[in-house]
Structure formats: C-alpha cells, structure tokens
Amino acid sequence: MASEATRHRSWAEPYKIKMVEHLKMTTRAERDAAIREAGYNTFLLKSEDVYIDLLTDSGTSAMSDRQWAGMMLGDEAYAGSRNFYHLEEAVREIYGYKHLVPTHQGRSAEHILSQIAIKPGDVVPGNMYFTTTRLHQELAGGRFVDVIIDEAHDSASEHPFKGDVDLAKLERVIAEYGADHIPYVCIATAVNMAGGQPISLANLRAVRALCDKHGIRVIHDATRVAENAYFIKEREPGCADMTIAAIVRAICDLTDGCTMSAKKDALVNIGGFLALNDDDLFDAARNMVVVYEGLHTYGGMAGRDMEAVAIGLHESVDYEHIKARVGQVAYLGRKIHEFGVPIVVPIGSHGVFLDAEAFLPHLDQDVYPAQTLAAELYLDSGVRSMERGTVSAGRDPETGQDRRPKLELVRLTVPRRVYTQAHMDVVAESVAEVFDHRDAIKGLRMVYEPAQLRFFQARFEPVA
Ligand code: P71
C-alpha cells in the first residue's frame, strides 16, 4: 500500500455546477447527413447537432455566479457607463496599461490598431500569425513576418517555450526593412496557432531590449495571457513562487499595449478591448472606435458585458482556476497521447492539437488532411473540432497560391468550466477510434472558397 507521503492526490475543478444544459445525442446516420449539409466544414454545423463542442474556447466558457450577478448591474447609459470605469480599473490593476478602448471583440481591437499604426509597405514581425490579426495587418497595407523560433513549427519539439521569438530572425527583419517600417512587434502569449505554446519572460525581456534599441513598440495579444503565465510559473527558472497575477503584470509591463479578445481568458461570451500606454496612439484609437464600434465608453459592448469582463479578468488570474483549466486540457492530451495518436507537444493551454499530417500520412496537403480529420471525428461521435492547417492558412496575397503551413492540425479546444473529465474521456476514445480506422480515410476537395478567412465558410466534398 502506498504510504501517505507517496499516495497520489488528485485535484478537481475549483467550482461546483449550479445549472445544466442538456446535450442532444445523435446517430451516425444523422451526423452523416449533418456534415454533408455543412459541406464537411465544422464551422457550418448547427450547434444543436453537436454533442461535445470543442470548436473553440472563444466565447464558449461558463460565466461564474459573480459574473452573472454583475450582468444585473449593467449601467446601460450611452455615455460614461459605470461598468466602463470598472473595466478600466480592472485593466489598469491587472494588466497595468494606462488607456482602455473597449471593442466588441478581439478582431475589432486588431482592426483599430492596424488602421492607426500601420502604413502601406510596413512589416509587422510576430511570434506566429493568427488569422484575424494577420488579415487586419494586410488590410492596412502591412505584411506579417514570422519571427517565432523554428521549434514552434515542429509539432514534435518538446521545447518548453515554443512561443519564444527568435531574436536573430527579428534582428534580420529590422536590418532588412528598417525600424521606420516596423510600426510594432506583435507578441502573442500562449501562441494559438503553435498549439497554445507560451513565451518565456526571459525571451520577452530580450525582445523588449532589442525593440528599445531601435525605438520599436511591442504590442501584446493578451487573449490568453493568464494561461501563458501558468506555464511560466511551472517551467521558467525563478518564477515558481510568483503569483499568476504578478506574472501577468510582468508580461504586460514589458509591452506597450495590447489587443484583447475577452472571450477567452476573461471568461465572457462577448467582449474585447485595445489597451495602450501611448497618449497619442490612444487618442487616434479613440477617434476610430466611434466610427466602427460605438462610443469610447462602450465600444460595442453593453454595460453588463463590460461588468462581466471586469469580473472575469480578476477570475482569470486565480491560481486554482487556471491550474484546473490548463490541467483539464493536459488530461485530455495525455489520454489521447496514450492511445498513440500524434499530437503537438508539449500539450498547450487551451486545447489539444492533433497532428493531421502524421495521423493521415497517406493524404497530401492538397486534399486537406486536417479538414478531413475534423469531419471524421464529428462523424464518429458528434465531437466538433476545428481545422488549423492548409484551409486556415489561406492563400498568399501576392502569389494567390495556397500557403502550405508546416503545421496541419486539428484543434480540440476546451471551453473553460464547461465540460467534465468524463467528457474528456469520451473525446479521447473517439479520437482513438478514428485513429484505428485511419487507413480508410480519404481526403476532401474544396468546392466553394470565400475571398477572406475562407475556413469559416468554405465547402468541401469527399474525393472519389
Ligand atoms: C479561436 C478564436 C476565435 C476564432 C477566430 C478566427 C478563426 C476561428 C476562431 C480568436 C483570437 C485569438 C487570438 C490569439 C485574436 C483573436 C480574435 N480566436 N487573437 O481561437 O485566438 O479575437 O475572436 O474575439 O475577434 O477560436 P475575436
């Protein structure tokens, strides 16, 4: 028998469930009809036809009783809502940025920032692209340049900080284009497209020093900063005794502002903001928010939404919360990995990323292995996932050719505080089932392709 000192002690979710939403179970025949109807694109499925929805962790988390109570305190004044001031206070306290421009979600903050900071011909270096971020940079006449370390593009590399910037790459970009053509360096925490991989504080400090030398701003995509902070606490030398809040603050203090989709870390169903330290940039952003979003004291959110974000920001830096959140994702990842299924390692913070290229080695990228795998998983069990490969990468705006990303992934994204460990078991077993029958899986061909962000609405048919 294990002695008390060596006995394994489990952890559990630091909350209990107060309200439940029933899930619809479907038959294979029903799923077959539903995915065909959806053009083999999980974005086009009706949520009603989905059993466990791991499409995204964006806007899908469960709010706390405190957040719901905050919703009842909405001050729905057109101007100067008290909830705006609460949100401003929370952003100043937790992130430390001076000015706040509320927006209805993350991409609107990216839109405003891109329009005010980027001139045609500029380049924006960043630690891997994100779809909406890069598109807004391109729409403003800029071009995204990837400066993440090579390990980030290798699904098998166990590097603990695959979100780190390769400083030599960044230096080369600065030498080639000149600081005048670099409006800012874009630093994402818990890098989404790399698999939810963190950047280290040490690397961010070095990025800051290099940018200071050249007078270049550092703008932070803070969407999942608390998750990144958890990995820093776990893995970075000297950080184990820091609180999550202190690490979040240390990250933000190394940057000049952020774009934020509050739909992730901040545990709300809708919301976002742009936060800036620079007075002039803030002034320009505030002028622009009234054109596209709404008055600068609500920016596309209701008062109640801003209150929920303010409370959610505080909850996001709670250690027990973030440990359980990242822990649940790790549980799912380990379970899938034990079945021998190829996944991105280390397991990221917001989801488990299946390596579709290694899963379906007999399929060429031209027949969209990740898109195909996402459809097969839905067919097997009604679990909805998201393609993060060739379809998401889109076409190069200059050549018009499909980009062929090194990572051809399917993301199983876990909403916060929504599913139980038993749901994770069901998901892992379904992935294993599809893996057992992988040789029989054929690819897809695209039969409809939208001009922008094609992954949202593209339609496919099975190849013969
Ligand atoms: C995610 C999303 C939502 C999404 C966006 C685009 C395609 C598919 C799904 C949104 C992010 C994000 C980062 C790092 C900015 C946004 C945009 N992620 N930065 O992962 O992850 O925020 O959705 O609030 O506009 O499913 P927004």
pLDDT per residue as tens digits for the range 316-356? 999 999 999 999 999 999 999 999 999 999 999 999 999 99
1: pLDDT strictly greater than 60: no
* 386, two tokens: 């998201």
Residue identifier of the C-alpha nearest atom 26 of ligand 1: 56
Could you say which DSSP state residue 273 is in? E
Confidence (pLDDT) at 2: 56
Confidence (pLDDT) at 464: 80
* 14, two tokens: 């630091």
Residue identifier of the C-alpha nearest atom 22 of ligand 1: 106
Q: Which atom of ligand 1 is the closest one to the Cα of 56?
A: 26
Give the Å distance between the CA of 108 and the centre of ligand 1.
Answer: 11
Give the Å distance between the CA of 314 and the centre of ligand 1.
Answer: 21
Confidence of residue 4 (pLDDT cuts 50, 70, 90): low
Backbone angles phi, psi at 349, to 5 degrees: -90, -30
Contact 335, 312 (CB under 8 A): no
Confidence (pLDDT) at 382: 98
Does residue 107 have its Cβ closer than 6 Å to ligand 1?
Answer: yes
Give the Å distance between the CA of 464 and the centre of ligand 1.
Answer: 34
pLDDT in tens, 223-267: 999 999 999 999 999 999 999 999 999 999 999 999 999 999 999
Does residue 130 have its Cβ closer than 6 Å to ligand 1?
Answer: yes
Q: Which atom of ligand 1 is the closest one to the Cα of 107?
A: 25
Q: Which mutation among 53, 129, 130, 137 tests ligand 1's pocket best, with the greatest number of atoms within 8 A of CB?
A: 130
Does residue 221 have its Cβ closer than 6 Å to ligand 1?
Answer: yes
Residues 46/52/58/60 CA torsion (nearest 10 deg): 90
Q: How many residues does the chain have?
A: 464
Q: Hunting for tokens 């909406």 — which residue is that?
A: 132
* 140, two tokens: 């403003």
Q: Which atom of ligand 1 is the closest one to the Cα of 105?
A: 24
Nearest to 184 by CA among 213, 215, 158, 155: 215
Contact 197, 388 (CB under 8 A): no
Residue identifier of the C-alpha nearest atom 16 of ligand 1: 106
Does residue 56 have its Cβ closer than 6 Å to ligand 1?
Answer: yes
Nearest to 305 by CA among 261, 273, 274, 269: 269
Confidence (pLDDT) at 273: 98
Active site residues: 78, 130-131, 221, 264, 388, 455
Residue 219, SS3 per DSSP: strand
How much is the average pLDDT of 174-179? 98
Confidence of residue 175 (pLDDT cuts 50, 70, 90): very high
Task: Give this prediction's pTM.
Answer: 0.96
pLDDT in tens, 146-166: 999 999 999 999 999 999 999
How much is the average pLDDT of 24-37? 97
Does residue 132 have its Cβ closer than 6 Å to ligand 1?
Answer: yes
Confidence (pLDDT) at 433: 98
Give the Å distance between the CA of 188 and the centre of ligand 1.
Answer: 12
Does residue 271 have its Cβ closer than 6 Å to ligand 1?
Answer: no
Residues 246/252/254/258 CA torsion (nearest 10 deg): 170
68: pLDDT strictly greater than 80: yes
Residue 60, SS3 per DSSP: coil
Confidence (pLDDT) at 5: 72
Q: What angle is formed at CA 231 by the lines to CA 242 and CA 211, rounded to 5 degrees?
A: 85
Give the Å distance between the CA of 315 and the centre of ligand 1.
Answer: 20
pLDDT in tens, 399-408: 999 999 999 9
117: pLDDT strictly greater than 60: yes
Confidence of residue 11 (pLDDT cuts 50, 70, 90): confident
Give the Å distance between the CA of 420 and the centre of ligand 1.
Answer: 24
Confidence (pLDDT) at 86: 98
Backbone angles phi, psi at 36, to 5 degrees: -65, -45
